[in-house]
Structure 1
Amino acid sequence: MLKNWIWISLSLILVMGLIVGCGARSQDANSEPEQEAQSESNSSSDDNNKATKAVEAEKIVIKFSHVVAEDTPKGKAANMFKELAEQYTEGRVEVEIFPNSQLYNDDDVLAAVQQNNVQIAAPSTSKVSKLFPEWTIFDFPFAFNDVASVQDAMESEEIGGKLFNMLSEQKLLGLAMWDNGFKQMTLDDHPLYMPDDFDGQQFRVMSSKVLEAQFESVSAVPTPMPFSEVYSALEQGVINGQENTLSNIYSKKFHEVQKYMTISNHGYLGYAVITNVEFWNGLPDDVREQLEKALNETTQWVRENGEKLNQENLEKIIADDMLKEIHYLTDDQKQAWVEAMNVVYDEFEEEVGADLINAVKALRDK
């Protein structure tokens, strides 16, 4: 009887073992395809991640820093360049725009370009003169009759060619010149008709010895100051007046804290579009070609629309009706200004170079 129970127990154990073994083999057989599928899925995901990272690594980011509002000629041009550059490179380039001195003011931006902290900037020509005094030729009073004359100057070897070529000495490369137009005078105390009206008045100027000399020639007191500080300085009476283009006057609301404006067109304000030479030359040839295309189209747009935008801003200033008077210089008044300020040419002939000054005078007199 006992033997029978032993045999029965052994049989049951053997049967259970077979069942468990088959179940395990069945589970193994069923799990292998799932593991393979999971492995393939992970592999595919890894490949996708690598591809995404590769695309991100290939994307070229260009930081573009400037100091003015986005609705000015330079601000609009920067945004246009961004749109065209990203379109023409099919997303391989991303242009990040930093207006209103968000990253750097014009006094610091060239050093940032040299260090490749930003890749493109468009400082006023006055700021370039900190490195190259010859660039102050654009600050000379009544140097150019109109925007077309400026464009002729920049396209000539005697002026534009010489000025752009010297930038490489400081790791810089000149890409284009963008017009902002001609400057007008504003003052809070009285209108400006004749040179005597400047006497003793404190005017903000960009950091430029030539611009300081311009105001000193009419017995005014020049005060160098960053563009971002001008409104509050006018509002608080730290300075009495300033010179700027109509688009800058309107966009920064200078007309709200001034009483008089004289349409004088006495000085040109342009921007040199500048990049880091090593960065630019290190771009893939096809990318650089498309960026140049975008830049050329933008520059053409600026030439065609800069004056139009300034005229539109003059109309807005008039519509705001916050100034007591807007005066247009008569021919006789303009001649008096020219004669008073002509001393600047002699004062800076040695520093800027007689060849540049004579080339500008010849263009002006043509």
Structure 2
Amino acid sequence: MKKLFILPVTAMLVLSLMGCAPNNTQTNAAPKGTDASTTNAGSGSGGQAKVKVMKMASANAKDRSLTRGLVKFGEIVEKETGGSVKVEVFADGQLGGDIAVFEGMKIGSIQGATMSTGPIASFAKRFNVFDLPFLFKDTDTAYKVLDGKIGQELLNDLPAAGVVGLSYMENGFRDLTNNKREVKSVDDVKGLKIRTLENELHIELWKTLGAVPTPMAITELFTALEQRVVDGQENPSGNVKLNKFYEVQKYITKTGHVYNASPLLVSNKFWEQLSDKEKEALKKAATEATAWQRQENQKETADAYDFLTKNKMTVTTLSPEEKQKFVDKLQPVYDKYKPIIGEDLVNRLLEAVK
């Protein structure tokens, strides 16, 4: 039987009187007829000033440099816009995996994010070029390309996919972990069930190495590892540490098979609501926050291997000879994806990284 709750008569009279009084309580709900990302705030002169709320998504842990980079971006944005743009960061995949978040940015329900180039390539195929295996020899080479003409050229592809790209933060070089055996050679990869990014090139990469690739969002990964749905996964060491994969994985090999840039993205629908001054503020904030985040990520990477060793993971470094065997075995991936990405772009990039 449903319980009924009856207010005392006195309480009912009080509520009735409150209903007649003017309501000065501020609300974050957007007024009818306005965009959901816009709220009203007092302007200080008795009027109402629109505050554009920017929900930004990160699939990474809240302490990861990429998430903290978004927080830094938000701090700079709010300062540079005088508070007309307010940034709210949602970590740990609260707004969904990368593919779902990108879809959200396209329709404007999510205003910004940072994510690896692999998922972005599902919407802008030329971004696959940055995920070609063993492309960048080090981060300095990656920065020169990403911050140069080729990097900007690829960002110019994004508005057609519904987003604006402001800069390239970084996820870092991806390593292989698993719970079956130590991987010291390319032959040790054969037969391992490996979670991959939701990206066809990454799936092809692991098939070529003889693994059994299983694409899934990172938000599902810990449980999949714990329940042995997959044997392993591949991620930068900072993610392995902060997502606590060391609790369910025994081995990590420093393969460095893909360098993951992580572009800072803004929903095109949100971008079009901004004034020219606000757009410039976001660009400035992206430049400053990206430089800060890259430095933080380098620190995370350096610290992560020591941490993982202390937490009983076996950390393996490939010999130069064995690493070259990985490179050689993955040449067919280049042959397959050159015509898909565009031979001219691939050739220009290969020349740029020399």
TM-score, normalisation: structure 1: 0.82
Match of 1:143 in 2: 135
How far did 1:361 drift? 1.8
Provide, for residues 6-63 of structure 1, a one-character-per-residue CA deviation record: whole Å limited to 9, x for no partner: xxxxxxxxxxxxxxxxxxxxxxxxxxxxxxxxxxxx99x9xxx986797664211111
Distance 1:91 1:190, change over 3 A: same
Matched, 1:185 2:176: yes
Q: Which one of 143, 154, 170 corresponds to residue 161 of structure 2?
A: 170
User: 1:310, 1:201 → 2: CA distance?
Assistant: 25
Distance 1:185 1:52, change over 3 A: same
User: 1:219, 1:295 → 2: CA distance?
Assistant: 39
How far did 1:129 drift? 0.7
User: 1:253, 1:156 → 2: CA distance?
Assistant: 35
Match of 1:61 in 2: 53
Q: Counterparts in 2 of 1:1-366, with a 5 A limit?
A: 57-157=49-149, 159-320=150-311, 322-323=312-313, 325-364=314-353, 366=354
* DSSP 3-state at the match of 1:108: helix
Q: Could you tell which deviates more after superposition, 282-291 or 134-143?
A: 282-291
Distance 1:51 1:147, change over 3 A: closer
Distance 1:53 1:212, change over 3 A: farther
Asked if structure 1 preserves the Cα contact closer than 8 Å seen for 2:105 and 2:267, the reply is yes
User: 2:333, 2:42 → 1: CA distance?
Assistant: 62
How far did 1:89 drift? 2.3
User: 2:45, 2:97 → 1: CA distance?
Assistant: 34
Provide, for residues 262-310 of structure 1, a one-character-per-residue CA deviation record: whole Å limited to 9, x for no partner: 1121111221111123422431222222222222110111233321221
Asked if structure 2 preserves the Cα contact closer than 8 Å seen for 1:121 and 1:273, the reply is yes
How far did 1:239 drift? 0.3
* DSSP 3-state at the match of 2:223: helix
Distance 1:265 1:51, change over 3 A: closer
Asked if structure 1 preserves the Cα contact closer than 8 Å seen for 2:169 and 2:262, the reply is yes
* DSSP 3-state at the match of 1:239: coil
Asked if structure 1 preserves the Cα contact closer than 8 Å seen for 2:165 and 2:266, the reply is yes
User: 1:53, 1:140 → 2: CA distance?
Assistant: 55
How far did 1:92 drift? 2.2
Distance 1:195 1:225, change over 3 A: same
User: 2:267, 2:236 → 1: CA distance?
Assistant: 28
* DSSP 3-state at the match of 2:252: strand
* DSSP 3-state at the match of 1:59: strand
Match of 1:20 in 2: none
User: 1:282, 1:231 → 2: CA distance?
Assistant: 38
* DSSP 3-state at the match of 1:143: coil
How far did 1:88 drift? 2.5
How far did 1:93 drift? 2.0
Distance 1:93 1:188, change over 3 A: same
Q: Could you tell which deviates more after superposition, 108-117 or 84-93?
A: 84-93
How far did 1:118 drift? 1.3
Asked if structure 1 preserves the Cα contact closer than 8 Å seen for 2:174 and 2:257, the reply is yes
Distance 1:291 1:255, change over 3 A: same
Asked if structure 2 preserves the Cα contact closer than 8 Å seen for 1:109 and 1:123, the reply is no
Amino acid at match of 2:349: V
Report the structure, 1 or 2, having the larger helix content. 1
Asked if structure 2 preserves the Cα contact closer than 8 Å seen for 1:85 and 1:290, the reply is yes
User: 1:134, 1:214 → 2: CA distance?
Assistant: 17
Q: Could you tell which deviates more after superposition, 123-132 or 49-58?
A: 49-58
Asked if structure 1 preserves the Cα contact closer than 8 Å seen for 2:169 and 2:293, the reply is yes
TM-score, normalisation: structure 2: 0.84
Amino acid at match of 2:338: E
User: 1:161, 1:67 → 2: CA distance?
Assistant: 24
* DSSP 3-state at the match of 1:250: helix
* DSSP 3-state at the match of 2:335: helix
Structural RMSD (CA): 2.1
The size of the alignment, in residue pairs, is 317
Provide, for residues 163-203 of structure 1, a one-character-per-residue CA deviation record: whole Å limited to 9, x for no partner: 11111212321111101210111111111111111111100
Distance 1:53 1:271, change over 3 A: farther
Distance 1:310 1:274, change over 3 A: same
Provide, for residues 117-170 of structure 1, a one-character-per-residue CA deviation record: whole Å limited to 9, x for no partner: 11111121111111122111122110111112222222332x213211111212
Quick check: which has more Rg, 1 or 2?
1
